[in-house]
Chains A and B, each alone.
Chain A
Amino acid sequence: MAFAGAKIIQPLTVHASATRSPDPFTNNKSTSLSSPFLGSTRTLTLTRSVSPFTQRRSASTVVAVSDVVKEKKVKATSNLLLTKEEGLEVYEDMYLGRAFEDMCAQMYYRGKMFGFVHLYNGQEAVSSGFIKLLKKEDSVVSTYRDHVHALSKGVPARAVMSELFGKKTGCCRGQGGSMHMFSAEHNVLGGFAFIGEGIPVATGAAFTSKYKREVLKEDDCDHVTLAFFGDGTANNGQFFECLNMAALWKLPIIFVVENNLWAIGMSHLRATSDPEIWKKGPAFGMPGIHVDGMDVLKVREVAKEAIGRARRGEGPTLVECETYRFRGHSLADPDELRDPAEKAHYAKRDPITQFKKYLIESKLATEADLKAIEKKIDEVVEDAVEFADESPAPSRSQLLENVFADPRGFGIGPDGKYRCEDPKFTEGTAQV
Chain B
Amino acid sequence: MLGTIRQKAVAARSLSSQVLENDLMRLRSVASVMRHYSAGTKEMTVRDALNSALDEEMAADPSVFVMGEEVGEYQGAYKITKGLLDKYGPERVVDTPITEAGFAGIGVGSAYHGLRPVVEFMTFNFSMQAIDHIINSAAKSNYMSAGQINVPIVFRGPNGPAAGVGAQHSQCYGAWYGSVPGLKVLVPYSSEDARGLLKAAIRDPDPVVFLENELLYGESFPVSAEALNSSFCLPIGKAKIEREGKDITITAFSKMVGYALKAAEILEKDGISAEVINLRSIRPLDRATINASVRKTNRLVTVEEGFPQHGIGAEICASVVEDSFGYLDAPVERIAGADVPTPYAANLERMAFPQIEDIVRAARRVCYRKSSIAASA
A residues sitting closer than 8 Å to B (CB atoms) are: 139, 141, 172-176, 180, 182-185, 189-194, 197, 199-209, 211, 214-216, 237-238, 241-242, 244-245, 248, 401-406, 408-416, 419, 425, 429-432
Contact = CB atoms under 8 A, between A and B. Distances in A.
Contact of B235 (A139, A194, A216, A413): A413
B235 A425 contact: yes
Contacts of A412: 200, 203-205, 233
Given A175-B143, A204-B108, A411 B237 contact: yes
Contacts of B182: 403-404
B235 A411 contact: yes
Interface in B254-297: 284, 286, 288-289, 292
Nearest to B129: A237
30 contacts: A172-B146, A172-B148, A175-B143, A175-B145, A176-B144, A176-B146, A190-B145, A192-B136, A197-B105, A197-B133, A200-B105, A201-B133, A202-B109, A204-B113, A215-B62, A215-B65, A245-B102, A401-B147, A402-B146, A406-B236, A409-B284, A410-B238, A411-B204, A412-B200, A412-B205, A429-B288, A430-B238, A430-B239, A432-B234, A432-B235
B102 A238 contact: yes
A183 B149 CA distance: 8
A238 B106 CA distance: 11
List of 10 A-B pairs having minimum Cβ-Cβ separation, nearest first: A204-B109, A200-B105, A241-B102, A182-B145, A411-B236, A405-B150, A173-B146, A201-B109, A204-B106, A405-B205
Given A189-B109, A237-B101, 14 more contacts: A141-B109, A191-B144, A200-B103, A203-B102, A204-B108, A208-B109, A241-B101, A245-B102, A403-B143, A409-B236, A409-B237, A414-B233, A430-B241, A431-B240
Contacts of A241: 97, 99, 101-103
Contact of A182 (B99, B113, B141, B234): B141
A139 B142 CA distance: 17
B112 A205 contact: yes
Interface residues of B, number: 65
Given A189-B112, A410-B238, A419-B235, A204 B206 contact: no
B68 to A, nearest CB: 13
Contacts of A172: 144-146, 148
Contacts of A209: 113
A192 B259 CA distance: 44
B102 A409 contact: no
Contacts of B237: 408-411
B264 to A, nearest CB: 16
Interface in B45-89: 62-63, 65
Interface in B177-220: 181-182, 184, 196, 200-201, 203-206
B150 to A, nearest CB: 4
Contacts of A248: 97
Contacts of B239: 429-430
Contacts of B143: 175, 402-403
Interface of B: 62-63, 65, 91-92, 96-97, 99, 101-115, 132-133, 136-137, 141-150, 152, 181-182, 184, 196, 200-201, 203-206, 229, 231-241, 284, 286, 288-289, 292
Contact of B105 (A191, A201, A403): A201
B181 A403 contact: yes
A364 B63 CA distance: 47
B56 to A, nearest CB: 12
Contacts of A139: 113
B91 A211 contact: yes
A197 B141 CA distance: 13
A interface, over-half SS: loop
A176 B141 CA distance: 9
Nearest to A187: B113
Contacts of A405: 142, 147, 150, 152, 205-206
Nearest to A411: B236
B285 to A, nearest CB: 10
Contacts of A432: 196, 234-235, 238
A182 B105 contact: no
A245 B106 contact: yes
Contacts of B136: 192-194, 197
Contacts of A414: 229, 231-233
B105 A203 contact: yes
B70 to A, nearest CB: 16
A248 B98 CA distance: 13
B236 A201 contact: no
Contact of A207 (B63, B109, B144, B292): B109
Contacts of B231: 414-415
Nearest to B96: A245
Contact of A242 (B102, B108, B114, B286): B102
A56 B145 CA distance: 44
A194 B200 CA distance: 31
A302 B60 CA distance: 42
A203 B112 CA distance: 11
A396 to B, nearest CB: 15
Contacts of A208: 109-110, 112-115
B132 A402 contact: no
A193 B147 CA distance: 19
A234 B206 CA distance: 31
B206 A406 contact: yes
Nearest to B88: A215
A226 to B, nearest CB: 13
B209 to A, nearest CB: 13
A194 B144 CA distance: 14
Contacts of A205: 109-110, 112-113
A211 B104 CA distance: 16
Nearest to A180: B144
